[in-house]
Amino acid sequence: MTTELRIGFAYTAAAYVLWGFVPLFFVLLIPTGPWEIVAMRVLFSLVLCVLLLTVTRGWAAFLAILRDRRLRWLTLLAGALIFINWQTYIVGVVTDRVLETSLGYFMNPILIVLLGVIVLRERLRPLQWVAIGIAAVAVAVTVIGYGTVPWIALLLAFSFGLYGLVKKKIGPRVDAVSGLTLETMWLTPVAIIELVIVAMTTGITFGTLGWGHAALLAATGVVTAVPLLLFAGGARRIPLSMAGILQFITPIMIFLIGTFLLHEPMPPERWAGFILVWIAVVVFLLDVLLASRKGRRAAPVELV
């Protein structure tokens, strides 16, 4: 393994591990509600990004992106999708549905493949169709056996999957810091409206529950930005297949936290849904490994 590959592996794995611990952080913010948490996450992420752009002298690149009409619209769409993802995720965490959020992130890579077929007209290999079919059965089992649609899992999977497609359309022209700055900048009016509504209803908790709690809310910016920057620095150094396999670190950690630390219930019907999703994930990873091995065998040998 080359030095560049080792660095990419370390950065990417670190990002997924940090995302895996995120539920414990947001649990610490209770009794703050999910709407205030997301609003604070947007505002403090924007503050941190502005500081990073200043320190790294990235304002010229940021303004160049801002002048591009297509990139403005794409980053606005990306911001809307990540807002839906953040809001859904935090609602799941603070309402004791952490396990359902992990189900969504287990389903996400498989859903991204399906979106590639629907939106990008990509062709699937047979094992990929099998994985998608098993995942669909898993959702059906959850709905029938558990008596409810796992809307948090589905919203998380679809919002992040679509977010990935938009980021693919944006491409390398937008760096991680500029992209997050634009996305949070577009979301700032929404965050302010959220805070006004919270202030008029349940009341804002920021600054009313002590300095420790206020510091935790302010830290949402760091908790948001650091994994994204690590991921951006790592994913460009390693093969996509490796990044895809490492992605399952996050839902595995979230599942373990929800089951063994937060003690969320796991009735038989929920176990059935999870087991089916895990089977789909195994099939999906098997396809990735087989395709990667076949690609290496087919690669031409360079003569020096």
Tens of pLDDT, residue by residue over 252-277, are 999 999 999 999 988 888 888 899 98
User: Comparing C-alpha atoms, which of 256, 274, 251, 258 is closest to residue 141?
Assistant: 274
In a domain, 58, yes or no: yes
Closest CA to 18 of 293, 264, 246, 276: 246
Q: What is the structure's pLDDT at 301?
A: 42
How confident is residue 240, by pLDDT bands cut at 50, 70 and 90? low
Evaluate whether residue 303 is within a structural domain.
Answer: no
283, pLDDT greater than 80: yes
Q: Which residues, including other chains, have CB under 8 Å from residue 200's CB and lie 6 or more apart?
A: none
Residue 191 lies in a domain: yes
Residue 169, domain member (yes or no): yes
pLDDT of 303 higher than 70: no
Asked if residue 301 is part of any domain, the answer here is: no
Contacts of 48 (CB under 8 A, 6+ apart): 221, 222, 224, 225
Structural domain for 17, as ranges = 3-293
Lowest mean pLDDT among 33-37, 195-199, 235-239, 266-270: 235-239
Q: Is-contact 222 48, C-beta < 8 A?
A: yes
Contact assessment for residue 15 and residue 223, using Cβ atoms and an 8 Å cutoff: no
21-to-92, 130, 199 alpha-carbon distances in Å: 15, 31, 29
Q: In this structure, are residues 3 and 218 in contact, taking their beta carbons and an 8 Å threshold? A: no
- Choose between 287 and 239: higher pLDDT: 287
Domain presence at residue 53: yes
Distance CA 3, CA 15 (A): 18
- Do 180 and 88 form a contact (C-beta atoms < 8 A)? no
Report the percentage of the chain scoring pLDDT > 90. 50
How many folded domains does the chain comprise? 1
DSSP letter at 260 equals I
- List, for residues 110-147, the tens digit of each pLDDT value: 787 777 778 777 777 888 889 888 988 888 888 787 67
Domain assignment present for 92: yes
31 band by pLDDT with thresholds 50, 70 and 90: very high
In a domain, 264, yes or no: yes
Structure tokens given for 282: 């195994």
Q: Which pLDDT score is estimated for 297?
A: 61
Sign of the Cα torsion 42, 168, 243, 135 reads: positive
Q: Share the mean pLDDT of the chain.
A: 87
